[in-house]
Amino acid sequence: MNKLIFETEPTKEKIQIPDELIFGKTFTTHVLEMDYDSEKGGWQDAIIKKHENISLSPAALVFHYGQAIFEGLKAYKQIDGKIVLFRPTKNLERLNRSAEKMCIPQVNIDFVMEGLIELINVDRDWIPNKPGHSLYIRPVMFATDPMLGVKAGEKYKFLILLSPVGPYYPGGFKPVPIMVTDKYVRAVRGGVGDCKTAGNYAASLYAQREAKKLGFAQVLYLDGLQQKYIEEVGTMNMFVQFKNEVATPRLSGTILPGITRMSVLEILKDWGYNVSERDIELKEIIDAYNNGNLVELFGTGTAAVISSISKLKYGETEIMFSDDHAGELGTKLYEALTDIQYGKSEDKFGWNVIVK
Ligand SMILES: *Cc1c(COP(=O)(O)O)cnc(C)c1O
């Protein structure tokens, strides 16, 4: 049985959280680190230690062949001061699914959860208690063997980093313009589109840069085979509200099974909406828009929670919503989710896990 070791010292200086937090740039004092070595029987003890640079061989497998996976979740300081994690087990289960597909060893979910809770507790003063702020949690795991052969590693490092973050939309909940691409694809059947693996994000940068140049916030990808069905946006799952249905692409193996997506589906069902997970043709969205059957579009993901969409552009076709007012359903969902996270409403689904 592995142990959790604390290499921490009482913090001498008072923690200063910057007023202007740029996403993912500020880190807390500590990390959780756990090494895997097949020659030493697998996972070693986990250590809560100072956040500092690590040393790796230039030959470390991860630099050459990209065996790296990660997760993203948040801890919130609630209005009564309680600290909670939002559905963290779902993230660790997904981490293990990504691990399996990338030939990376799986972690013991209960042990990592215990370590995560202790880590957050050690760095609890780093959690901002301003409205819309939270602590972003980034577990990451990669192959470290100093070895140039193309093969799965025998040695891995698992780290959990913590980063205090401000509201995703500092100017208020604003809708964003999205560009549909049929020039680039994100994932194909039988690939790794459903894993949070580093290479997927490296591969998305080029299309993202092109969209940025044209004034769009993100790219909406179509399926990799026929480029007919919508898949997902950058790092968000996509929802389409038609007059009589709220639909989202089904989990076919090419999109990331988002935990916000899953939560939104559960809330919508609870509210009595007709929801479906199915194939959605881009043409169906354009036709619905032209017929007055399209109500709104939004994306879901941990970082922004809900991103309302102001405009969807596909070639010469433009689907226009309001530039400055987020859609009604997206706003309602944003409030419902964040109210649960910040403890402003009852957690009736039992999603929050309390960090002592
Ligand atoms: C992380 C991610 C999402 C959103 O998942 P959540 O669990 O809701 O944060 C969606 N798409 C991609 C490609 C992602 O990496």
pLDDT tens figures, 223-276: 999 999 999 998 999 999 999 999 999 999 999 999 999 999 999 999 999 999
> Can you tell me the distance from the alpha carbon of 16 to that of 63, in angstroms, rounded to the nearest whole number?
34
Ligand 1 midpoint to CA 278 (Å): 18
Residue 8 has pLDDT above 90, yes or no: no
On the 0-12 / 13-18 / 19+ scale of CB atoms within 10 A, 57 is: exposed
Instruction: Quote the pLDDT of residue 345.
Output: 96
Ligand 1 midpoint to CA 39 (Å): 34
Residue nearest to atom 13 of ligand 1 (CA): 235
Instruction: Quote the pLDDT of residue 9.
Output: 77
**Ligand 1 binding pocket includes 187 (Cβ within 6 Å):** no
pLDDT category of residue 60 using cuts at 50, 70 and 90: very high
Instruction: Quote the pLDDT of residue 235.
Output: 92
Instruction: Please report the atom of ligand 1 found closest to the CA of residue 73.
Output: 9
Ligand 1 midpoint to CA 71 (Å): 9
pLDDT category of residue 84 using cuts at 50, 70 and 90: very high
Mean pLDDT throughout 23-47? 96
Domains within the chain, CATH numbers bracketed: 4-165 (3.30.470.10), 176-341 (3.20.10.10)
- Terminal CA-to-CA distance of the chain, rounded, Å? 23
Ligand 1 midpoint to CA 13 (Å): 36
Mean pLDDT throughout 121-129? 93
Residue 16 has pLDDT above 80, yes or no: yes
3-state secondary structure of 327: coil
Ligand 1 midpoint to CA 30 (Å): 25
pLDDT category of residue 172 using cuts at 50, 70 and 90: confident
pLDDT category of residue 112 using cuts at 50, 70 and 90: very high
- Give me the chain's average pLDDT, please: 95
CA 139 vs CA 85, 101, 203, 242, 333: distances in Å: 14, 17, 21, 36, 27
Residue 164 has pLDDT above 80, yes or no: yes
> Can you tell me the distance from the alpha carbon of 75 to that of 70, in angstroms, rounded to the nearest whole number?
17
Mean pLDDT throughout 111-125? 97
Give the amino acid at 263.
Answer: S
Instruction: Please report the atom of ligand 1 found closest to the CA of residue 236.
Output: 10
Of all residues in the chain, the percent with pLDDT exceeding 90 is 90
- What pTM did the predictor assign? 0.96
Single out the residue of 72, 71, 74, 73 nearest to residue 99, CA to CA. 71
Q: Given ligand 1 and candidates 302, 306, 307, which is best to mutate, with the most ligand atoms within 8 Å of its CB?
A: 302
Mean pLDDT throughout 162-187? 91
Q: How far is CA 206 from the centre of its chain?
A: 20
Instruction: Please report the atom of ligand 1 found closest to the CA of residue 262.
Output: 8
CB 253 within 8 A of CB 189: yes
Of all residues in the chain, the percent with pLDDT exceeding 70 is 99
Contacts of residues 262-270 at CB distance under 8 Å and 24 or more positions apart, as own/partner, are: 262/90, 263/87, 263/337, 263/349, 263/351, 264/239, 264/300, 264/306, 264/333, 264/337, 266/349, 267/333, 267/336, 267/337, 268/333, 270/349
Q: Given ligand 1 and candidates 69, 236, 263, which is best to mutate, with the most ligand atoms within 8 Å of its CB?
A: 236
Mean pLDDT throughout 179-202? 96
pLDDT category of residue 14 using cuts at 50, 70 and 90: confident
**Ligand 1 binding pocket includes 197 (Cβ within 6 Å):** no
Residue 324 has pLDDT above 90, yes or no: no
Single out the residue of 226, 215, 254 nearest to residue 238, CA to CA. 254
Residue 11 has pLDDT above 80, yes or no: no
Residue 99 has pLDDT above 80, yes or no: yes
- Cα atoms found within 13 Å of the Cα of residue 73, Cβ hemisphere only: 28
CA 141 vs CA 122, 161, 267, 334: distances in Å: 22, 11, 32, 30
Q: Which helix (H) or strand (E) holds 258?
A: none
Tens digit of each residue's pLDDT (9 = 90 or more) over 286-320: 999 999 999 999 999 999 999 999 999 999 999 99
